[in-house]
Amino acid sequence: MDFVSIDQHAESAPRAAHRAMADWRDAVVPLLMEYGRIPDLSPAYDPEWESHGELERAAALFAGWARSRDLPGAEIDVVRITGLSPTVLVDVPATDPGAAGTVLVYGHYDKQPPFVGWGEGRGPFTPTLEGDHLYGRGMADDGYAMPSVLVALEAIRSTGGRHARCVVLIEGSEESGSPHLPAVLATLADRIGTPDLVVALDSGSPTGERLWVTTSLRGAVVGTLTVEVLDHGVHSGSAGAVVPSSFRIARHLLDRIEDSATGDLLLPELVVDPPPGTREAAERMARALDEAGHVEAPFPIVDGLVLQGATRAEQAVRAAWLGSVAVVGADGLPPSADAGAVLRPSTTLKLVIRVPPTCDAVAAEAAVARALTTDPPYGARVTWVGEQSADGWAAPAFAPWLSDALDGASAAAFDRPSGRVGEGGTIPFLGWLADRFPEAQILALGVLVPGSNHHGPDESLHLPTAERVTGAVAALLVEHAERAVP
């Protein structure tokens, strides 16, 4: 289809945005308070999820709420496929036959594990409203998504605006890497149709002052490295300096894939050159942060810590296009209070290796496995168990109409033009959506501003940001409908 500007509808988008922002809090916060009490852990963190029924409970809650909304003709269904987490599907017809095309909006309702360290009076499944922040697991990641887009659609209709057919798909396995999503998309292919715009409401935002669009995401290689040197622990005074330490061997092996002085990855399969324009985009983002008064680092660093990258722009390039290794878990090490003078028999480290957006994650994982297990030091028994190889994603250039529409949507909700940002996290489903709908424009938007702390303690949803993002989505859907010509 072609896209054209229609001046006579110039005020429709701002009107819809303002109504959505005005309606959002009363419509959505009570739902999120109820949702926040459900411990619907993603399948990877609850192997008995089917018998526990919490994912089913959350899906039913969202579907029931959707049925209560003023969206004439909408079809709401909880799709149950054997062995897969339930999927909430909301199919909202276009306001009129002239609003051509289909928009697919993605979100998820499953949650990360509770984690420790929540503040006083807060908890992962005891949602707490404090001022403009709603604390609880899943509030920002990603419970807000479905109700927000439905509020946006209601606002468009109530202000006399237009929107194309909108299919809202909310899945239940994203926090596990979306292993259920490919089968869900295949099963629902006929019901979804062929969208020309896909909006994923599950991304980050470096500030709350404008609509930020994610243009790239890193991939990830996840697995466990185990080094064994003894059948059982022995006195370190007897064996030390004779039997090599399993921890020292593990350190040595990590040096094969990462420069321990700089943190840079060493294997060619884990390195790419950032595309042209990356640094310029990072510099624009840095200027936007400065203009917004964000002078502090977006991380809770200890006093005196020096970040890698001399400037914000350099840090942004590193986070988006350089890889990294994180040791996120360990086995074989007793708590320090219980540790004796024993040379331990083995060390197991769980690694999360971020790889650049355009790396082949399968080839990267194979290279990591070879590097860690070939010719092990001292002949130690070394094993690598790969758990996940997830490709990254880099958005193609936006069509001119979409770039203009994004700026207009951001202006309607934030009074500022939109921004572009490369994210360091990994969202496998974006690549899958791009592969399944190759003709569609793919957008990744979200509310995860600094301090949201998703996946960690004190995860929170900043309500003003959620209101504004919802307003921007309303404006964007209007722009899409008004520019589309069959």
Q: Would you state the pLDDT for residue 10? A: 67
| pLDDT tens, the chain, 486 aa long | 343 344 545 689 999 999 999 999 999 999 999 999 999 999 999 999 999 999 999 999 999 999 999 999 999 999 999 999 999 999 999 999 989 999 999 999 999 999 999 999 999 999 999 999 999 999 999 999 999 999 999 999 999 999 999 999 999 999 998 999 999 999 999 999 999 999 999 998 888 999 999 999 999 999 999 999 999 999 999 999 999 999 999 999 999 999 999 999 999 999 999 998 889 888 988 888 887 777 677 788 899 999 999 899 999 999 999 999 999 999 999 999 999 999 999 999 999 999 999 999 999 999 999 999 999 999 999 999 999 899 999 988 899 999 999 999 999 999 999 999 998 988 888 988 999 999 999 999 999 998 899 999 999 999 999 999 999 999 999 999 987 544
Q: Would you state the pLDDT for residue 9? A: 55
User: Of 426, 429, 390, whose CA–CA distance to 182 is shortest?
Assistant: 429
Task: Count the neighbouring beta carbons within 10 Å of the beta carbon of residue 14.
Answer: 20
Buried b (16+ CB within 10 A) or exposed e, 436-456: bbeebbbbbbbbbbbebbbee
Omega of the bond prior to 141 within 30 degrees of 0, cis? Answer: no
Q: Would you state the pLDDT for residue 3? A: 39
The strand ranges marked E within 272-360 are 324-331, 342-343, 346-355
Ramachandran angles phi, psi of 428, nearest 5°: -60, -30
Task: Please give the C-alpha separations between residue 92 and each of 61, 73, 207, 281, in angstroms, as whole numbers.
Answer: 18, 7, 31, 36
Domains and CATH numbers, the chain: 2-217+392-485 (3.40.630.10), 219-286+316-390 (3.30.70.360)
Q: In what order do the strands lie in the sheet with 419-423?
A: 393-394, 212-217, 419-423
Q: Would you state the pLDDT for residue 5? A: 43
Buried b (16+ CB within 10 A) or exposed e, 62-73: bbebbeebebee
Alpha-carbon distance of 39 to 124, in angstroms, equals 8
Helical segments of 359-399, H only: 361-373
Question: Which two tokens mark 407?
Answer: 């700026």
Q: Are strands 133-135 and 460-462 parallel, antiparallel or unpaired?
A: antiparallel
Q: Are strands 219-228 and 346-355 parallel, antiparallel or unpaired?
A: antiparallel
Say if residues 444 and 427 touch (Cβ distance below 8 Å): yes
Say if residues 316 and 306 touch (Cβ distance below 8 Å): no
Q: Would you state the pLDDT for residue 427? A: 87
Question: Which two tokens mark 401?
Answer: 């109409």
Question: Which two tokens mark 372?
Answer: 């860690």
User: Of 110, 107, 137, whose CA–CA distance to 56 is shortest?
Assistant: 110
Alpha-carbon distance of 433 to 388, in angstroms, equals 19
Task: Please give the C-alpha separations between residue 275 and each of 203, 341, 439, in angstroms, as whole numbers.
Answer: 21, 51, 22
Q: Would you state the pLDDT for residue 486? A: 41
Task: Please give the C-alpha separations between residue 56 and each of 79, 84, 85, 110, 111, in angstroms, as whole numbers.
Answer: 10, 11, 8, 10, 13
Q: For residue 92, what is the enclosing H or E element?
A: strand 87-92
Question: Which two tokens mark 59?
Answer: 């899906």
Question: Which two tokens mark 82?
Answer: 């054997």
